[in-house]
Amino acid sequence: MRELSYQECLDLLRVEHIGRIGVVIDDQVYVLPVNFRLVETSAVTWIAIRTRPGNVLDHPGRRVAFEIDGFDEARRHGWSVLVRGTLQRVDPDAADFGERFDPAPWIEDERESWLVIDPYAITGRLLPGMQPTWAFVTEAYL
């Protein structure tokens, strides 16, 4: 296993659009799939999400964990990026935030609460795949 660099983590966050967010509420752990968008400006790096007002995620100030990952089962290769941070509410009309960074949720029903994860840590790991095994020995043919 190898640690991914911060830049490698950002590269993966740029191309993925579905992740899982975990939060603890009243001693209960919730992990939910969400559509997201990486927000990168000269001043901030955030993970933007939209949710229904008042639902389990709509609580600014909560600490959360957010994860994306990918797997190739045939080669036993995989990677994972973990973002730990705090949920913050965002005004989608401020600085055209909604237009520039809409995470485009698959389900549009009343997802009018715009939140970002303000990260304090972005880390990742790579599980390098197994090398293919050949059914013959190359030295036997040389």
The residue extents of the domains of the chain are 2-141
Which CATH entry fits the domain spanning 2-141: 3.40.50.720, 1.25.40.80, 2.30.110.10, 2.130.10.10?
Answer: 2.30.110.10
Report the chain's mean pLDDT, rounded to a whole number: 84
Residue in 85, 80, 86, 88 with CA at minimum distance from that of residue 123: 80
In the chain, the percentage of residues whose pLDDT exceeds 90 is: 44
* Span 33-70, pLDDT tens digits: 998 989 888 888 999 888 878 888 888 888 999 999 99
pTM of this structure: 0.82
**Can you give the pLDDT at residue 112?**
72
* Span 85-108, pLDDT tens digits: 999 988 766 766 666 666 666 666
